[in-house]
Amino acid sequence: SKPAAAAASPAAPASGPTPAAAAPASTSDSAPILSPEAAPPGTWVAVKVRRPQVAEDTLQDLALLRRVVALVGLTHTEQGMKLTLNDLVDELERTTREEIDFCVELRNLERFHSLLFDQPGVESPVPYPQLSTDDVLVMEYVEGPLISEKAAIRAHGWDLAKLGHAIAESYVTQVVDNGFFHADPHGGNIVVRDGKIVWIDLGMVGTLTVSQRALITKAMKAAVENDPFLMMEALLGATRQGSEVDYGALLEKLSLLLAQYMSENLSDINIGQLLTDILEILRKQDLSLPPEYTLLARSMLAIEGVLSDVAPNESIVKIIQTHIQRREFTWASVETKAREFGAAVLSSTESAAHLPTQMSHTLQMLNRGQLKVNADVEVEDRIIAALYSVCGTLGMALISAGLFIGSSMLCWTNMEPKLLGVPLLGALGYIGAFVLGSYVVWRNIKIRHKQKNLEL
């Protein structure tokens, strides 16, 4: 290990801030810097040390888990949705490796800190890369109450509502603008220092590509503007299809869902419940989200929990709406829309130029009898059930009529045996015709009565 790192270890004099925290994979403490290479001597820093044998034991557990998955393969839920255990283990392994490799968290700290330059009132610990190794992480010591410690925050005279707004604004900026967000933003990972928000513990972060951010922005815009078609486009672009998608049913369910939520005030919308309902709709359509989006959904639930505790009147949906509107009026957004409009005009012009040729080819195929039309007509289950019921009733009525006519013809014969001067077989036919006819009449009366009750 580096000498400077050793100088900043917990073995240094113990007078100063109290130990920070402990976790199964690591332990955190505070210590003063004795070497002048990184910072002025006596500067207190937070030191995070990985526990011995954690990496080796974790990798062995993951290898064993992979063997089990290889034996199990695929499993099914009661609803029939297929779950790939390999994807689950891949995501578990990725996040676990990031948690136990402090070089990854160091890079996360450096990147996250560099992206906060345009967010006033929001900070993160300054990392010390020259003092850090893969099993020791040294960063600025942050002292202050957690965002969940409301009494201590009020004692300092800080406004919880403003702090909640700063948290929400910073989080949306991380997701929409930076594509690099805190993936575990619970109350224990947000500190208030000098009235400013400090994001700590960057062991778990989420990364989004430009295209993924565009899809997320589209989905957020669709939710705010109550546009189910735009929401469906965004979800289909973000998900993986397990089987054939019923686009009509998907659009209908999204329309009903957005209408239900948009009838409320923006401040009253529960973003966590909205996400849960959307995920349920996707599950029923056998659509699965990649890990990046599920991580985002989980972190969004956590941030909403923080806001509901700290600033109940603050709405993450309102922040998203304001953020999207502000982005649409930037020069970069106008330039992007102009390029998209130009590309759409060019594509439409090319399509219009090819239209006469395509129409001519279509008419030629029609004249030759080569044109085929495939149609997929979806009929509701209740309509099919009604058709079955009508066909069954009609069949019984025809059988009753046939029995009556056949029995009448038998009565003109001298067939033995006879009952009251009538052939026995004819008499039984009359009885059967009467029973079936009576049942058909009773069934029709019952159905009409049920329909009248439904109309009322």
Per residue of the chain (456 residues), give pLDDT as tens. 333 333 334 334 444 454 444 444 455 555 566 555 666 666 788 888 877 665 666 666 666 666 665 555 544 444 433 445 566 666 666 666 666 678 888 999 999 999 998 899 999 999 999 888 888 889 999 999 999 999 999 999 999 999 999 999 999 999 988 999 999 999 999 999 999 999 998 888 999 998 888 888 888 888 878 899 999 999 998 888 877 888 888 999 999 988 888 777 666 777 777 888 888 888 888 888 887 888 888 898 899 889 989 988 887 778 877 877 777 666 666 676 677 777 777 877 877 777 788 788 788 877 777 767 666 666 666 777 778 778 888 888 888 888 888 888 877 777 788 777 778 888 888 888 888 888 888 888 887 777 777 665
Q: How far apart are CA 134 and CA 136, in angstroms?
A: 6
Helix, strand and coil content of the chain, in percent to the nearest 5, comes to 60, 10, 30
Residue 191 and residue 147 in contact, taking contact as beta carbons nearer than 8 Å? yes
Residue 30 and residue 18 in contact, taking contact as beta carbons nearer than 8 Å? yes
Specify the 3-state DSSP secondary structure of 417. coil
Specify the 3-state DSSP secondary structure of 197. strand
Q: Report the predicted TM-score, pTM, of the whole model to 2 decimal places.
A: 0.64
CA atoms within 13 A on the CB side of 324: 19
In 3D space, the residue among 242, 246, 247, 222 whose CA is nearest the CA of residue 234 turns out to be 222
Q: How far apart are CA 185 and CA 171, in angstroms?
A: 9
Crossing angle between the packed helical segments 316-328 and 160-172, to the nearest 10 degrees: 50
In 3D space, the residue among 264, 247, 3, 45 whose CA is nearest the CA of residue 133 turns out to be 3
In 3D space, the residue among 108, 102, 100 whose CA is nearest the CA of residue 62 turns out to be 100
Which helix (H) or strand (E) segment holds residue 55: the answer is helix 54-72
Q: How far apart are CA 176 and CA 209, in angstroms?
A: 10
Residue 440 and residue 397 in contact, taking contact as beta carbons nearer than 8 Å? yes
Q: Which two tokens stand for residue 350?
A: 């090319």
Q: How far apart are CA 220 and CA 383, in angstroms?
A: 37
How far does CA 155 lie from the centroid of its chain? 39
Instruction: Give residue 152's pLDDT.
Output: 94
Q: How far apart are CA 204 and CA 23, in angstroms?
A: 14
Q: How far apart are CA 448 and CA 18, in angstroms?
A: 79
Residue in the block written with tokens 């005279």: 157
Q: How far apart are CA 26 and CA 18, in angstroms?
A: 17
Instruction: Give residue 32's pLDDT.
Output: 61
